[in-house]
Amino acid sequence: MDPIAFDIAHMFAGGLVLVSFLLLYQDRLYALLNMFAVQALVLALSVSWQAYIQQAPHLYITAVITLIFKGIVIPYALHRIVARLGIHREVEVVVGAVPTMVAGIALVALSMVVMLRVTQHADALAREDLAFALSVVLLGLLMMVTRNNAVSQVVGFMSLENGLILAATGAKGMPLVVEISIGFSVLIALIVVGIFLFRIRERFDSVDVQALDESRGKGR
């Protein structure tokens, strides 16, 4: 492969990991949503670069879906929801920023060690893409467990899912990638509608999942 092509693919995948780190410590919801839009943009660039170097035009569809849906529609909808709910105050971070970042670095190191070791026979681009993808997935999971707020949990989930799209597009010639990315978009749309329904009925004082736990009372 052309070394420049390789380097550019590498840069986008690495950029995605970097943006995942930036997501980890955003403590205001608006900033978090903007950063998520940036992540979607980087992913869209990465996917279209993969479409170009693999000569797989159907991947452009995935790139466009990513850009429009996750880069624009979802952040905009969540902005509206956050504004309407009046929760644009600080994100409640359960674990502080420093331990979160340290845990994030450890997870990235873990995924590098694991993936690079087990994919010795795969081609270089695919294995590094997979290693980056696993990092993004794990960072998304980390975000989901460190955040209490439903909106930031959803952002964590979407960031996790971006990692999966990166892995799927990096696996050269993988079938059903477009279908899977559409399936995920449906899932995310439903999640967002779900948050909206939660609030529009005003059954809870906050969308904090811990508060929901308390509403259950003794029934457990």
Partner 1 sequence: MSALVNALISVLLANNVYLLLLLPAVAAVALAFARGYRLSSRLNMAASGLTFLTALTLFAGQQATDRYFLVDDLNIVFVVLNTFVAFTTSVFSAGYIARELETGHLTQTHLRFYHTLYQALLGAMNLAFVANNIGLMWVAIEVATLTTVLMVGIYRTDRSLEAAWKYFILGSVGIALALFGTILIYMAARPVIGEGLNGMVWTVLISRVADFDPALLNLAFVFLLLGYGTKVGLAPMYAWLPDAHAEGPTPISAILSGSLLNVALYAVLRFKLLMAANSNAIAPGPLMAALGLLSLVFAGFMLYRRSDIKRMFAYSSIEHMGIIAFAFGMGGALANFAGLLHMTMHSLTKSAIFFAVGQIAQAKGTKKIADIRGLTVTHPFLGWGLVVAMAALAGMPPTGVFTSEFLIVSSTIARAPLLALPLVIGLLVAFGALMWRLHGFAFGEPTENVAPVKASSLPLAAHLALVLVAGLYLPQPLVLWFQHVAAMLG
| Per-residue binding letters, 177-216, with partner 1 (x by CB under 8 A) | --xx--x--xx--xx--x--xx--x-xx----x--xx-xx
96 in contact with partner 1 (CB under 8 A): no
> Judged by CB under 8 A, which of 172, 196, 206, 208 binds partner 1?
172
Nearer to partner 1, 90 or 213 (CB): 213
**CA–CA separation, 148 and 214 (whole Å):** 13
For residue 167, which phi and psi values (nearest 5 degrees)?
-65, -45
Nearer to partner 1, 97 or 209 (CB): 209
> Judged by CB under 8 A, which of 18, 176, 200, 210 binds partner 1?
176
128 in contact with partner 1 (CB under 8 A): no
Nearer to partner 1, 84 or 97 (CB): 84
> Judged by CB under 8 A, which of 60, 174, 196, 206 binds partner 1?
174
* Separation in Å, CA 207 to CA 19, 28, 38, 94, 160: 25, 15, 25, 15, 21
* Separation in Å, CA 89 to CA 18, 85, 107, 132, 179: 25, 11, 29, 32, 37
Determine contact, residues 125/170, Cβ cutoff 8 Å: yes
